[in-house]
Structure 1
Amino acid sequence: MSHTPHQLAEDFPEHLVKIRHLREKDGHFHRISKEYEEVNHRIHLGETDIEPCDDLHMAQLRKQRMALKDEIYGMLMRAEPLAAEAEV
């Protein structure tokens, strides 16, 4: 069990420019990335026993995080390449 938060910037470092751009320009991407952060934070609190929860609830949260991450990844792959990405 990992107690390290799964931040989008750490999980997709090669897409930082695109993540920032989509958060500013795409309302849906902004909503799901915020939801990902909230779910990820709840998982981290549960894993570190700051806010313990049962195994079933933790499994549901992890599935939700994975579904959000899959959607975010898909949106990153479909988004047009940005000129600034070549500089990163």
Structure 2
Amino acid sequence: MITKHPIYLDFPEYADKIKNLYHNNDEFQVLLHSYTDLDEKIYKIETDEELAMDDELSQLRKNRVFLKDEIVNFLKDS
């Protein structure tokens, strides 16, 4: 199934922390925006709203995983 991957759904245990950091930490806000924008781009490609080569989509997915890891590390360290 093709779906978006919002952070707050992937990590519900951090929902309050995500909200707090988003409103109070500029670095986290940039990181979350980057992740959300990338997730949206991947979704559009997967639903054929935008075109991309398979290798490009694969790289975008890897970048999303990297950003997700960065966000989780940020949440754990805060």
Q: Specify if TM > 0.5.
A: yes
The corresponding residue for 2:75 is 76
The corresponding residue for 1:8 is 7
The corresponding residue for 1:49 is 48
State the 1:52 CA deviation: 2.1
What amino acid does structure 2 have at the position aligned with 1:9? Y
The corresponding residue for 1:60 is 59
Listed one character per residue, the Cα deviations across residues 6-52 of structure 1 (whole Å, up to 9, x for unaligned) are 01111111111000000111111000100000000000000011112
SS at match of 2:3: coil
The corresponding residue for 1:84 is none
TM-score normalized by the length of structure 1: 0.85
What amino acid does structure 2 have at the position aligned with 1:36? Y
The corresponding residue for 1:30 is 29
Q: Which residues of structure 1 form unaligned runs of 5+?
A: 80-88
Q: Which residues of structure 2 form unaligned runs of 5+?
A: none
What amino acid does structure 2 have at the position aligned with 1:66? V
Max Rg structure:
1
Residues in 2 aligned to 1:71 and 1:51: alpha-carbon distance in whole angstroms: 26
Q: What is the identity percentage for the equivalent residue pairs of Structure 1 and Structure 2? A: 36
> Could you list the runs of 4 or more consecutive aligned residues of structure 1 that deviate by over 4 angstroms after TM superposition?
none
